[in-house]
Amino acid sequence: MSRQKILKVISRITTYLLFVLFIVTVFMVISFRASGGEADLFGYQFKSVLSGSMEPEIQTGSIISIELGGDMTRFEEGDVITYRTQDHMLITHRVVQEMEDGQQYMTKGDNNEEADSEPVLAQNVVGKYTGFTVPYVGYVMNFANTPQGAALLLILPGLFLVGYSVVTIWRVLGQVEGSKNKGAAEKH
């Protein structure tokens, strides 16, 4: 394969990747902004983890997927659940004890020395951790929820696409000019 064909393939792949990145970023920012940071996708929500209480399984700054709905009294010892505290904060910890036929749970962060002081009521459980985690993306998603972050994450990929398009057009025009000059030189 010639060098020019390889560059053309790389160029197309780069264009498609930038376009996909742009579309995904726009979708994520809009869905997070529209839902107040709790976008729901096919019964799952993505949550940012901002503490190290569940390390090493869930790293600080990761996003995790939780399965929403269902019977919130179904959890057993060892399940990882996300629940809302009295202060309306979301916590993701492991169930260490089921109490009152699943109406309450004692939880503990894997990295914490002791169990949480207050039992979690089943009605405060938001969902169950699915085991899906993406490291460091939580930092980006939290930044995306700020006005500056939303603007930057929408504008930056767009600028990359426009810049890449300008470079591509410039190259094509240079090739067209080069072939015109070459054709004119051959006629003389």
Annotated catalytic residues are 51
* Length, in residues, of the chain: 188
Token couple for 33: 């902004």
3-state secondary structure 50-100: CCCCCCCCCCCCCEEEEEECCCCCCCCCCCEEEEECCCCCEEEEEEEEEEC
Question: What gap in Å lies between CA 78 and CA 107, rounded to an integer?
Answer: 9
Distances (CA, A) of 183 to 82, 167, 172, 187: 69, 24, 16, 7
Q: For 119, which DSSP code?
A: P
With 0-12 / 13-18 / 19 or more C-beta atoms within 10 angstroms meaning exposed / middle / buried, residue 183 is exposed
Distances (CA, A) of 148 to 143, 157, 177: 8, 15, 42
Question: What gap in Å lies between CA 10 and CA 4, rounded to an integer?
Answer: 10
